[in-house]
Amino acid sequence: MRLRFIPIWAALALLAAFCGAVALAQETGAAAPRTDSEIEMDVVHGLNASPTLKNGLITAATIQGEVTLSGTVSSESSRQLAQSIAAQVPGVAKVNNNLQVGNPHQTSSTDQRPPGRASRAASSEFGSIRMSGRRGI
């Protein structure tokens, strides 16, 4: 009689272990996909947290997980640092680094901005990192 109950107990123990493993996998499973605005905000916060990039003028735009960095930084190492920071943000699929090396505070007479962006750019402080306001479709 006792030998009949051993396979049942073993089956119940395996079932309990399996259910526990499934519950644990659901708790630690992949989080919901991050939105472009969440990714962009984290990129901006990461760039702002870097003392090296404090004097740079950087714009970050995110569309479908692809981050584009634009603007001017003071050195090639700052350019690479900005790309590295952006690439480490969860949800970033690709970084397009369009940053230029130069004096971030020097404005060029050939600096042309689209009409809708001129007032926003003019009102921002130098040395800040901004979000572009563009969103994916």
pLDDT score for 122: 32
pTM score, two decimals?
Answer: 0.59
Residue 109: C-alpha distances to residues 105, 106, 113 (Å): 13, 10, 11
For domain 36-131, say whether CATH 3.30.1340.30 is its number: yes
Residue 134: C-alpha distances to residues 40, 73, 82, 127 (Å): 10, 22, 20, 21
pLDDT in tens, the chain (137 residues): 555 555 665 555 545 555 555 555 555 555 789 999 999 999 999 999 999 998 889 999 999 999 999 999 999 999 999 999 999 999 999 999 999 999 887 755 444 444 433 333 333 333 445 555 554 44
Q: Which amino acid is at 14?
A: L
User: Is there a contact between 126 and 104 (Cβ–Cβ < 8 Å)?
Assistant: yes
pLDDT score for 54: 84
Show the beta-strand stretches assigned E in the chain.
Answer: 57-63, 66-73, 94-101, 129-131
Handedness of CA 65, 71, 75, 78 (dihedral sign): negative
